[in-house]
Amino acid sequence: NLGNAYLRNNDPGHALLWYERAMRLIPDDPDLKFNYGYAMSLTKDEKEDKDFPLFRILFFWKYLLSQSLTQQIALVLNFLFWLTLIYFGCC
């Protein structure tokens, strides 16, 4: 009910907060899911509009590769770095 009250007062942020809290208690409620979806449709992520082109150029892999693949590549490169450091550090 608090989520609906906040939504009627044009405060979708607080409404989403209370809908998410309610979904922990009753995750299968269809009305709750509908209201949550409606509140989400009223919000807009400001970060998407302010996406700086330099950021997209420097971190291109974020948009091309999945997060798990990026993590796997980072682990392999980390392992190769330490292996190279040990090899050239000892000889």
**Residue-wise pLDDT tens for the chain (91 aa)?**
799 999 999 898 899 999 999 999 998 899 999 999 999 888 876 555 555 677 777 887 777 888 888 899 999 999 999 999 998 887 6
What are the residue boundaries of the structural domains of the chain, listed by start?
2-43, 50-90
Alpha-carbon distance of 72 to 70, in angstroms, equals 5
Q: Which pLDDT value is given to residue 62?
A: 78
- pTM, rounded to two decimals: 0.49
* Cα-Cα-Cα-Cα dihedral sign, residues 35, 37, 38, 39: positive
